[in-house]
Amino acid sequence: MNEGFFEGITYIGGIAGALTAIIACSILLVKPIRKLLSKTFGSNKVQLAMLRSDITHYYYEYLPAKTLPTYVKENLILLHEVYVSGGGNSYVCQIFKDMRTWDVSNV
């Protein structure tokens, strides 16, 4: 084989190595930036606020009758699980506990 072929292979190998290094550095930089942006804009806080709002809305909507439609109770259980796993506070847990004692209708 001629020398030009081996030089070409070496050149392509160098490019591939450089691309790999660039990708590795990019991955190392993206994670801290994403974490900083999440902390800065408080995406977790926004999610918790929306969950708290939904659960509180259901509470006051169905409080007079103290009866929940089946689909609402199922939604509340899911909303509460996500709220707790996200670090939600005890206020919502208390109203959820209260709602768990209410009647359920098959509406």
pLDDT one digit per residue (tens) for the chain, 107 residues: 566 666 767 777 778 777 777 767 666 666 676 666 566 655 688 888 889 999 999 999 999 999 999 999 999 999 999 999 888 888 899 999 999 999 999 86
Strand partners of residue 69: 105
pTM of the full structure: 0.59
Among candidate residues 37, 75, 35, 40, the one with its CA nearest the CA of residue 58: 75
* CA 12 from centre of chain: 41
Residue 106 DSSP code = -
